Structures are given as structure tokens and as C-alpha cells.
Structure 1
Amino acid sequence: MLRINRLKIEIKTNEGLYGFDESFSKGLNLIASTDNTCGKSSIIAAIYYCLGFEEIIGGKGEKVLTSVYKNSIEDGENVLSVLESGAYLEISNGEEVITIYRSAKMEGRDNKLLSVYHSSLYEIDKPNVFSEDMYVHMPNSAVNRKGFHNYLEKFIHLELPLVPASDDVTRKLYLQLIFSGMFVEQKHGWADILSGMPILGIKDSKKRILEFILNLDTLDNEKKKNELKALENKIKKDWETCLQELIILANRESCEVKSFPQNPKILLENDISAISIVKKNTNIDEYIESLKEQYNDLILMKPKIIDNFDEIQTELSETDNAIHSLEKELAKSKDMYFSENISVEKLEKSLEIINSDIRNNKDAARLRDLGSELKLSTSKDLCPVCNQEVQDTLIPNTSDLEVMSIDENIRHLNAQKEMLQFAHKSHIQNKNKLQDKITHLENSLFKLRSLARTLRSDLYKTNDNMSESLMYKRIQLDSEISSLEKLLGTLMKQKNKLKELSSEWKSYLSKKSLLPSKKFSKSDEQKLKILRSHFITNLEKFGYKSVLNLNQVEISLETYLPIIEGFDMKFDSSASDNVRAIWAFILALLQTSNEKDGNHPGVLIFDEPAQHSIVINDMKEFFNSIIKLQGYHQIVVGMTVKDSDTRQAINDLSVKSFNLIKVPNKAFRPFNNND
């Protein structure tokens, strides 16, 4: 909870100290003046300012304060220059009391600096009182230890949630936003419900404020859904990366990955065992063993060239045939690659034309629709001169020829676009596969040509040295064995990674299954029902007349704001009834929170609630409703009491039911030395 105990404003001039010093009580506190320019709003602004909530008024720092804090103050006919100014605000959370000081004008002290005294205002000068400096409106002031709003959040026993921001990250729901649902300032606050809410980059900020105040389960559920969605995306991305890394390495060795699941799933041991790498239709570990056998056979063989001349001749012939076959396959693959590349280019050009045609047809449809609203003849497909029918095509009009309308054209073009996009994607995939195949063929050709070269060298040697081709084969086999064993090691590593991802996926599915199937819990439904009941009851009390049947009023399940037949209630409200609706809704939030254990701190501020010539009887009901509120509450109302009716409405209230703070001709009076 938050309770305002005392506010002291100090303005120092050449003629001495001026200011304001009053205490506030639980329940209704009425700051009343006989004129609208006495400084009542300047007093209320100091409360916002000391709490670092001046963004609700419309800005940051001292610029939101009136000139009395910055430039000059009037004392009768004298105009005195302001030398220094600032304000003390004593607040309580029901257990502890602190006093906040923030300067408005002071050399050498930035207005972002606040001093927090861990005592009442009366005791801040005592030597044993602990004080510390903090800051507002600076990066991370909502989360850092010395950030005042981080401290204030803990002091009033709130735990602000992390919510989605407009830059696609999660941020803490700022206190300034929360209190914009409780503090209604004079200039902009009466335009609409939560119209004083500052823009701080939080998505659906009004919705988030109301969810938090009412302590709806949807906030926590949505948070869990967002966390699970992020987890799902991470697992899918890691799974795909794991697969692609293995495929790329396997392709380099002319191998193929088998039985690797394309999408995340819960894998059993036999699923993991089934994942393998195959080369020439042989499992990689078996293939490696066969290569090792070949290598060992070559180690045992030590023939001289003269001893295996016929074998070298035969092998050279077979190698040349293999080279010829691979060259033909490579040439064919390159032709297919170029063909696929031409197809891709043609499809891209066709897609450009289709997109252009879609844009043109949509433009034509818009112009047609605008024309029908403007009642132009051309929009009705009629000639504006002779009123004969005009076709939207240059093809001659024949009885057996049907011409598609613009809307049909758009649908047909979109269908064509989808077909072309599918074909484009397919050709891109084919092109990439062919590129991999070409690379593999070129590598194989290089090896075979190298082998043929060593075989020819052996054939034409005139001495009986060891076979050069035999040595080459050993080197090639040793290199291939080493590469495939490395690939086999990668397979084992990726399998272990896959086990971890499978376990994460199982945990994700388990958490997802625990989420409620419905958007609202039973508790949420009850809270929204109670909010609607209080809101309608308040509307009736306050004389809301813009809707004849208030049973039509609902609370939107999307925004939690009042609607009528699906539309914002404001659209059907007069100016004065819009003010009544704001009274009713702000009070209903407090009532519902108190009744259903919400997060409302229990404090409200209304600056000049009697907007747009509110009927005095309705104002009486407003005051009486505040006085009769159940649970903890503190409401500060700033009000101008000009006419006798308003004065009478206040006089009719029980003296003990509210705290009256009278503001004389000028709010800021000279302080005595002992003040």
C-alpha cells in the first residue's frame, strides 16, 4: 500500500521562505480553493514530482512544474524571484515511513536526484536518521539498486511483472504506467480512461496496467506462454542447426544422413540408434572398416612396377572410363544447374510482374471504392459522357467472353503468386542440390585424375622402383579414413546434443500441457464480473445518462475497458458523461482490487473532477461513494469551489468523513522561521 502522510513545498526568495505544508489522512482529502488559479494543481503536481511520476502530467523534470517553482512567486502585489525550490513528501507503506526530497531549482543539484530519509519529515534533521540519494529518469532506474523506482516498488510491496516491449524484448512494467490508472491530472486526464498514461514502449500498456491492478492470472499465463514460445523457437533452431551441421559435413565426404528427425520430438534410445551416416549404401562405420582392410592389403603389397604391369594397365583403363563417366555426369549436372538458374530468374521476373499487377489491381479497387462513395460514374463502370457501360479491358465485348472483375483478378493473381512462389522455392532447392552434386563430382574427378596420372607414371617408368600409384592409394585411403572417422565422431557428438534437445522438448511439452486451455481462469472471470458490477453501479450513482440501458455495458475481454456492443463506450458518451465514466471506472478498479486481493496500492488522485459542468448532485454521490469505500484507501481530490452549489455539496458532508485542506488566495504563503 501507499499512503501520503505529508507534503511540504519550499520556495526560497530574497524576501524569505515561501511554501506549503499540510498533512493528509486516510480516506477523502479535499484540496479546495475558491479560484482555479490559486495553485491547487501546483500542489498536486509536487506529489507526482516527488514520486518521479511527472510523466503522467506530460514530461520529465521540473519543466512540468508551474513557474512558481522556477521563476517567480507573487505575494500580494510583489513579484519575487525564485532562488531555490523543492518539495518533501512523507509517505508510508503501512509499516515504515520515509520522506522523499526532490529539488525543482537548485544550483549544483540535478532534478533527477532524490534524497530518501528513513524517517518522518518531522525527524529528518535528527543525527541518527539514515538517508541515501537515488535517481529517476535515467537508464535502469527501474531495476538498479540506486534507482528510486526500483526502491519505491519494493517499499510499497509491489512486484512488477516483465511484459513485452515494442522492441521485442521484455521489460519491467513501469510504476509510472501503473499509477496512471490511479492519478487523474487536470489537463489531459479527463479526456479518456488512462489518457494520462505516458508512452514508455510497452506493448498493450493499458491492458497490462489493468491486468496488474486486478492481479489477473492472464498476466502470468501470458508470461508463461511467451516464455514457452521463446523456448520452443530456441529448441527448433538448435535442432535445425544440429541437423544442418551434420548434413554439411556428410555432404563433403559424399555421405548421406539417415533417420535424423526433421523436427523436434521425444526420442527413445532406438530412435537415437537409428540415426546414421551412409556412404555408397553402407553404414559409415562399416565403410570405414572396409577402407581399413583395403589399406592393410596395400601395406602388405610390395610389388615392383615390372611385376604388376598388366594390373596397372587394366586399372588405368578402368580409371579413364570412370573419369569419362564422371565428366559426362558433371556436364549434365552443370546443364541442369544452368537450366534451374534460368528457371529461377524467370520465376523472379514473373513474381515481380505479378506483384505489380496485384498492386495495380488493388489501387484500381481502392479508386473504385472511393468513386462509389463520391458517386462518380466511372466507379459504376459507366461512361460519364454517354452513360454507356465501360469494360475494364481492351478485349472486344462479346457475348461468349466473360471478363473477370477487379476483385476476381486480385484473387486470381494471388493464387498465381502462391503457385509461382512454390515453384520458385522448389527450383531454388533443386539448384542448391545440383551445386552440391557438382562440387562432389569435381572433387571425385580430381582424385581420379590424380590416380590416373600416377598410374601412367608407373607404366612409363624404365626402372623397377616401387609403384607410385600404390603409394598414392595408401595416402588417399589414409586421408579418407581420417575424414570419415572425424565425421563419425561428429555424429556421436550430434546424437548427444540431440538427446539434450529431446529432453528439453519433453520438458517444454510438459509445461505447455499445464497451461490453462481457457484464456481466463475462474478467478479472472469472477474479477471481471465484479469490475463490471461495480462500474455499472457507479455509473448509476453518478447520473450517467448517455446509455439508456446500462446492462448493455460490458468489460472487453481483450482490453478490459468498458464497451457497448463491441465499441469503446466513449463514443456514445457526452463530455460530462465521459467524466462520470472515468470516475466510475477508476473507483471500480480500487473496489475490485480491495475485494479480490488485487495489486492496487490504495491511493487515488483526482485533479478537478467536476469537469464539463457536472451536476452537483452527481458530485455529492461521487464524494459519498469515496467516503463509503470499503478496505484501505486514500483519495486526494483537488477542486475549485466557485459556486454556492459546490460549496453546499462540501458542507453537506460530515466533517469527520474527510480531511479539508483549504487553499487561500495563493497556495504558497510565507513561512515563519519555526515552520
Structure 2
Amino acid sequence: MLKINRLRIEIKTKEKVFGFDETFQSGLNLIASDDNTRGKSSIIAMIYYCLGFEEIIGGRGEKVLTAAFKSIIEEGENVWTVLESGAYLEITNGMEVITIFRAAKMENRDNRLISVYYSDMENIHRQDTLMEDMYVHMPNAANNKKGFHNFLETFLHFELPLVPASDDAVRKLYLQLIFSGMFIEQKHGWADILAGMPILGIKESKKRVIEFILNLDTLDNERKKDHLRSEEDNIKKEWTTVVRDITLLVEKEACSITGLPLSPKILTDLDYSKITIQKGGVHIDEYINDLTEKYNDLQALKPKIIDNFEELQIELNETEVTIREYERDITKLRDLLDSEHISIRRLQNNLEIIKTDINNNKDAARLRNLGSGLDLYTSKDICPTCHQDIADTLLPLPNHMPIMSIDDNIRHLNAQKDMLEFAMLSHKSNSEQFQSSINLLEGNLFKLRSLAKSLRSDLYQTNDSYSEAIVYKRLSIESEISNLNKLLDFYSNHKVTLEILSDRWKDYLEKKAALPENKYSQKDQIKLNHLQEYFVDNIRKFGYKSVSNLNQVEVSKENYLPAIEGFDMKFDSSASDNIRAIWAFTLALLQVSSKDSGNHPGILIFDEPAQHSIVVNDMEEFLTRIINDFNKNQVIIGITVKDSDTRRVVSELPEGKYKLIMVPNKAFQKIDKSL
């Protein structure tokens, strides 16, 4: 809830203090004058200004205010220079009362500074009154502790949602946007429904504001969907990283892994049992056991060369044969890798040519389309002399062979581009696989060459020398066992991460399944139906005549704005009926919010609602509707009572049901002293 209790404006000159000081009540408040240039809009603008909502008027800071706040103020024939100006605004949320002060012109005080007094206006200078300075219209003013709009959000017991921004970020739904659906200012506010909404980089801002005011579940569902999309992306990225890390280490140790899911899924005990790491076609545990046995056998041998010359020679020969096989395999793989690189370069060149051709054809199509507007034969591929088709090729063609048009060319070239890009991805994948195989073979080749060197050394040593081959084998096996055990430990740790990601994926799927299948919940449907009913009832009572059958009027399910047969209602509305529609919709939002537990703070401001020669009887119905149906809310209206009919309407309003603040010749009169 937001209710304005009191507004005090102070404009200080050399000798006098001018200003405005009035209280406001619940229900209807009329700020009236007998002419349209008395300062009513200046008073209303100061309410916006104190709340930091002057962007609804069309700007930021004191520049949206009139000269009376910044330069000169008139008093009869006298003109006074303004030295300082500002305003105090006392507001309540139904439980707490605060007073806001914001300067319009004041030396050494920036207009973005707002002082908040935690008391009513009469007691702001008491010693026990707490005062706090805050800022507005600066970065993070809607989020930081000292940001005034962050404070105001808390004071109003709002919980503003995060909504998509135009730069694909997510931002808070700003208060300025929300209150543009409640504060209708004079210059721009009557152009269209929510016309005064400032541009603050929020996607579909009108739609988001209506969702918030009505407290639609769609807003919460959209927020949940955004959160789930973010969670899905995070799980997939983390899952891919874990799988990649495991796969890289497995391949580094010349092993293979099967059963490891490449994308997130709910893993069961059966799934975990299917994940196996092998080396040489043998399960890694069995392979480590075999290595351990070989190591133990080597431990039992004395590292001496006794009578094993023939065995050493045979082993050396077998090792050299394997080395040559590895070298041949590496050479073949390098040739294949070079071939892939050549293919990739060729495809890249072809892609560049295709892209250039596509751009050229698109430019030609644009020029053709521009030329067709001039009705030129050449732009239509027709000879201007003989009126025969012009072929866009100089090559001789068989009779009746069709020539592709520019549009066909573009489609054909796009298809070729897609095919080349797919082929490039395939060649890049092959290239990566060949490089991985080369790295693995080169690692094994290094070990074999080291072994061969040790065997040759043993063959030429004396019989009582130590066997380098046996020592090398021991060290090699010991190192391999150590590396494979590290691999198992690494996999075990990452398996825990996979278990956590699997649980998160399960939670994500459960939350996704819990979202409603339809865009609108049952409560949303009821609220939107009520919005349509209230709106149609309002425009009927306010004398809307642009549509003969008001049963055709509906609230669009796409943007929640009034429509007729799917089209914006304003296109079929006269200027005065457009004003009636703004009255009706602004009131309907508050009506639905009050009926169906929405977020509307319960305040409306209309500056000069009698625009475009509104019939006085309709204006009377508008004011009567506010008095009868909105007495628990607060409605402030700036109105000119120049003609007799309008004066009669105001004078015949039920006594005690509204407050009339009559503005004299000038809104700002001499006051006794400043607060």
C-alpha cells in the first residue's frame, strides 16, 4: 500500500518563501483550478519527483520541473529569483510513516540525493527522529542498501521480480515502470495505455508490469523457467567438463572407457556398473593385477645377465619389430592428418567463396526489389527492347533449360554452405581423433625405444653385470601401476561429482515436470477474465462508442492489453474514446488487484483526464465511479474547472466523499516559513 499524506513544496527567494502545503485523504482528491496554467501539473510533478519517478514525465532530475523551481517565480507583477527549492512528501504504507525530502535547486546538494525521515512531517526536526540519506538514478539504486528505490521497494512490501532485459541479461522490474501504470501524466500519458512507461531496457515491459500488478503466476513460472534453463545449462556444462577430464586422462594412459554417459541423466547402480575402464581389452583392475604379478616375478629375478643371451636377443628383435610397426602406423596417421588439414583448408576457402556469393546475391536481390518498385524491365530480368527473359549467365545453354533466379541461387548457396560446414565439422573431428592416436602411439613408441636401448645394453655387458632391461621393466611397470591407480582415484573422485550432478539433474527434471503445461494457471485465467469484465464494464459506463458491440472487446493473452479480433483496440478508437479506454484500464487493474490479491499499491494519479473534448457526463461517471468503488484507495486528479459544466459536476459530487484542493491564481503562494 502507498498513500500520500502530505506534500509541502518550498521555493526560497531573497525575501520570501513560496510554496504549497496540503494534506491528502483516502478516496478522491481533486487538485483543481479555473484555468489550465495555474500549476496543478507542477504540484503533481513534484510528487513524482520526490518518489524518484520523474522518468514517467520524460526525464531525470530537475529538468522535468517548471521554471518556478529553478529560475524565477512570479507574484503578481513582481518576479523573484529562485535561490533554493525542494519538497517534502509524507507517505505511509499503512503501518509506517516516513517523510521524503528532495531538492530541486540547492547549492552543494545534488538532485539525486534523497533524505528519508522516519517520522511524519511535523516531527522531522525532533532530536529523536532518525534520518537517512539515499540516492536515486545512479547505478544500483534499485539494489544497493543506500539506493532509494531499493528502500522504497522494501517500504511498500514489494518483492520485485527479475525479468529479461533487452541485452539478454536479467534485471529487476523497476518501480518507475510499475508506477507508470498508476500515474497518468498530462503530456504523454494520454497517448495510449501505459504510454508514460520509461524505456529502461526491459523486454516486454508493459506485459511484465501488468503481470506484476495482477500477481499472475506466469511471472513466477517464467522466473522458474529461466532458473531451470540456467540450471540445465550449468549441469550440462559441468557434466561435459567431468566427462572430458575423465576421457582425457583415460586416453593419456592408453586406456578406454565405456558406458560413461556423454550428457546428463539420472544414474542408477546399474548405470554405474556399466562404466568400465579397460586397457588392452582387459578390465583395468585385472590389468593392474597382471602387472603386479609381472612386477613380483621381476622382483624374484636377480638383476644379473647369466645365460639369457638368446632370450634377450629374441626380446630385442620382437621389440624392434613392434617399434617399426608403430612407426609405420604413425606415418600413416600423419599422412591422414595432413590430408584432413588440406581438406579443412579447402573447405574453408570454399566457404569463404560461398559466403561472398550469398552476400552478392542478397545485394542483387535487394537492388532488384528496389528496382521493381520503379517498374524497370531490367530489374525483373526482362530485356527492355525485345521483352525476352535475360539469363544471368553468358554460357550457351540447351533449349528449355531453366535458369535459377536470384532467390533460387540464394537458397542453393545456403544449402551448399550448410553442407560444407557439416563436412568441416566431420573433418575436424577426424583430425582430432588422428592426433589423439598419434600422441598415444608416440608415447608407447618412446617406452619401446627405451626398452630396446636397455636390451642392447644388456647384450653387450659382461655376465656378472646388472640387467638394465630387468631394472627398466621394473621401473616401467611400477610407474604404470602408479599411474593407473592414480587414474582410478581420479575416476573415483569424479564419480562422486557425477553422482551429485545426477541428483541435480533429477531435481531439475522433477521441477520442470511440475511446471504447468499451459501458459496460464487457473488463477491467471480467472484474473484475466476479471480484467476483461471490469474493463468492458468501465468503458460501457464511460460512454465508449468507437465499437458498436463491446462483447468483441477482449484482453489479449499475448500482452494483456485491450484488443478487438486480435488487433490493438486503440486503432479503432477515436481520440476521446482512447482517453476513456485509459481510464477504464487503469481502474480495472486496481479493481482486479483488489479482488484477486494482486500487487497494486492502491494509489492512482490522473493529470487532466478530461482530454480531447470528453463529454461532461462521462467525466461525471468517471468521478462517481472513483468515489463509489475506490474510497479505500487513494486517487489524486488534477482537473481544470474552467467551464460551467465541469464546475457543476464537481459541485454536485457527494459532500464528504472527496477532498477539493482549489489552486488560486498561482499554485505557489507565499508561506510563513520553511520547515
**Structure 1 position 83 matched with structure 2 position 83:** yes
Native 8 Å contact 2:102 2:113 kept in 1: yes
Q: 1:672: Cα distance to partner? A: 2.4
Greater mean alpha carbon deviation, residues 436-445 or residues 460-469 = 460-469
Q: Quick one: percent identity of the two aligned structures?
A: 62
CA distance in 1, matches of 2:126, 2:494: 68
User: Residue 198 of structure 1 aligns to a residue in which SS?
Assistant: coil
CA distance in 2, matches of 1:397, 1:633: 81
Q: 1:611: Cα distance to partner? A: 2.5
Alignment deviations for residues 489-542 of structure 1 (CA, whole Å, 9 cap, x no partner): 111112111111111111111111111111101111111111112222222333
Look up the match of 1:605: 605
Look up the match of 2:153: 153
**Structure 1 position 639 matched with structure 2 position 608:** no
User: Residue 653 of structure 1 aligns to a residue in which SS?
Assistant: coil
User: Residue 299 of structure 2 aligns to a residue in which SS?
Assistant: helix
CA distance in 2, matches of 1:39, 1:649: 22
CA distance in 2, matches of 1:90, 1:355: 64
User: Amino acid of the residue matched to residue 181 of structure 1?
Assistant: G
> Against the structure 1 CA distance between its residues 386 and 623, is the aligned structure 2 distance closer, same or farther, given a 3 Å change threshold?
farther
Look up the match of 2:428: 428
CA distance in 1, matches of 2:236, 2:123: 60
User: Residue 73 of structure 1 aligns to a residue in which SS?
Assistant: strand
CA distance in 2, matches of 1:473, 1:291: 11
Q: 1:601: Cα distance to partner? A: 0.7
Matches within 5 A, 1:579-618: 579-618=579-618
CA distance in 2, matches of 1:407, 1:453: 68
CA distance in 2, matches of 1:463, 1:314: 18
Look up the match of 2:298: 298
Greater mean alpha carbon deviation, residues 89-98 or residues 218-227 = 89-98
User: Amino acid of the residue matched to residue 18 of structure 1?
Assistant: F
Alignment deviations for residues 637-663 of structure 1 (CA, whole Å, 9 cap, x no partner): 112333333333333433433221111
Look up the match of 2:323: 323
User: Residue 294 of structure 2 aligns to a residue in which SS?
Assistant: helix
User: Residue 10 of structure 1 aligns to a residue in which SS?
Assistant: strand
- Give the TM-score taking structure 2 as reference length: 0.95
Look up the match of 1:472: 472
Q: 1:320: Cα distance to partner? A: 0.9
CA distance in 1, matches of 2:550, 2:375: 39
CA distance in 1, matches of 2:348, 2:571: 48
Matches within 5 A, 1:506-585: 506-585=506-585
Alignment deviations for residues 49-81 of structure 1 (CA, whole Å, 9 cap, x no partner): 111111212222222222211212111111111
User: Residue 208 of structure 1 aligns to a residue in which SS?
Assistant: helix
Matches within 5 A, 1:149-548: 149-396=149-396, 398-462=398-462, 464-548=464-548
Native 8 Å contact 1:86 1:101 kept in 2: yes
**Structure 1 position 140 matched with structure 2 position 129:** no
Look up the match of 1:62: 62
> Against the structure 1 CA distance between its residues 406 and 631, is the aligned structure 2 distance closer, same or farther, given a 3 Å change threshold?
farther
Q: 1:383: Cα distance to partner? A: 2.1
Gaps of 5+ in 1: none
> Against the structure 1 CA distance between its residues 386 and 580, is the aligned structure 2 distance closer, same or farther, given a 3 Å change threshold?
farther
User: Residue 243 of structure 2 aligns to a residue in which SS?
Assistant: helix
CA distance in 2, matches of 1:304, 1:527: 93
CA distance in 1, matches of 2:290, 2:542: 92
CA distance in 1, matches of 2:591, 2:486: 69
Look up the match of 1:14: 14
> Against the structure 1 CA distance between its residues 620 and 428, is the aligned structure 2 distance closer, same or farther, given a 3 Å change threshold?
same
> Against the structure 1 CA distance between its residues 31 and 630, is the aligned structure 2 distance closer, same or farther, given a 3 Å change threshold?
closer
> Against the structure 1 CA distance between its residues 385 and 648, is the aligned structure 2 distance closer, same or farther, given a 3 Å change threshold?
farther
Q: 1:154: Cα distance to partner? A: 2.4
User: Residue 307 of structure 1 aligns to a residue in which SS?
Assistant: coil
CA distance in 1, matches of 2:411, 2:581: 45
CA distance in 1, matches of 2:146, 2:648: 48
Gaps of 5+ in 2: none
> Against the structure 1 CA distance between its residues 519 and 281, is the aligned structure 2 distance closer, same or farther, given a 3 Å change threshold?
same
Greater mean alpha carbon deviation, residues 365-374 or residues 324-333 = 365-374
User: Residue 82 of structure 2 aligns to a residue in which SS?
Assistant: strand
Q: 1:102: Cα distance to partner? A: 1.5
Alignment deviations for residues 180-230 of structure 1 (CA, whole Å, 9 cap, x no partner): 111111222222222222222322221111000011010111111111111
CA distance in 2, matches of 1:370, 1:579: 41
Native 8 Å contact 1:285 1:488 kept in 2: no
User: Residue 656 of structure 1 aligns to a residue in which SS?
Assistant: coil
Native 8 Å contact 2:303 2:471 kept in 1: no
Q: 1:417: Cα distance to partner? A: 2.4
User: Residue 83 of structure 2 aligns to a residue in which SS?
Assistant: strand
User: Residue 17 of structure 2 aligns to a residue in which SS?
Assistant: strand
Q: 1:297: Cα distance to partner? A: 1.3
CA distance in 1, matches of 2:448, 2:167: 56
Look up the match of 2:116: 116
User: Amino acid of the residue matched to residue 112 of structure 2?
Assistant: K
Q: 1:617: Cα distance to partner? A: 2.9
CA distance in 1, matches of 2:51, 2:383: 68
CA distance in 1, matches of 2:357, 2:644: 71
| Root-mean-square deviation over aligned CA pairs | 2.1
Look up the match of 1:31: 31
User: Amino acid of the residue matched to residue 338 of structure 1?
Assistant: D
CA distance in 2, matches of 1:548, 1:369: 42
User: Amino acid of the residue matched to residue 106 of structure 1?
Assistant: M
CA distance in 1, matches of 2:446, 2:182: 78
User: Residue 99 of structure 2 aligns to a residue in which SS?
Assistant: strand
Alignment deviations for residues 383-422 of structure 1 (CA, whole Å, 9 cap, x no partner): 2333322234444454441223333333333332222222
CA distance in 2, matches of 1:545, 1:589: 22
User: Amino acid of the residue matched to residue 152 of structure 1?
Assistant: L
Native 8 Å contact 1:594 1:631 kept in 2: no
User: Amino acid of the residue matched to residue 460 of structure 2?
Assistant: Y
Q: 1:239: Cα distance to partner? A: 1.0
CA distance in 2, matches of 1:338, 1:401: 41
CA distance in 2, matches of 1:103, 1:674: 13
User: Amino acid of the residue matched to residue 125 of structure 2?
Assistant: D
CA distance in 1, matches of 2:38, 2:479: 93
CA distance in 2, matches of 1:307, 1:554: 102
CA distance in 1, matches of 2:305, 2:319: 18
User: Residue 181 of structure 2 aligns to a residue in which SS?
Assistant: coil
User: Residue 42 of structure 1 aligns to a residue in which SS?
Assistant: helix
Look up the match of 2:130: 130
User: Amino acid of the residue matched to residue 419 of structure 1?
Assistant: M
User: Residue 628 of structure 1 aligns to a residue in which SS?
Assistant: helix
CA distance in 2, matches of 1:554, 1:417: 46
CA distance in 1, matches of 2:406, 2:657: 70
- Give the TM-score taking structure 1 as reference length: 0.95
Native 8 Å contact 2:31 2:662 kept in 1: yes
Matches within 5 A, 1:620-659: 620-630=620-630, 632-659=632-659
CA distance in 2, matches of 1:551, 1:410: 48
Native 8 Å contact 2:3 2:92 kept in 1: yes
Alignment deviations for residues 458-507 of structure 1 (CA, whole Å, 9 cap, x no partner): 22235631111221111211111111110111111121111111111111
CA distance in 2, matches of 1:528, 1:479: 72
User: Amino acid of the residue matched to residue 325 of structure 1?
Assistant: E
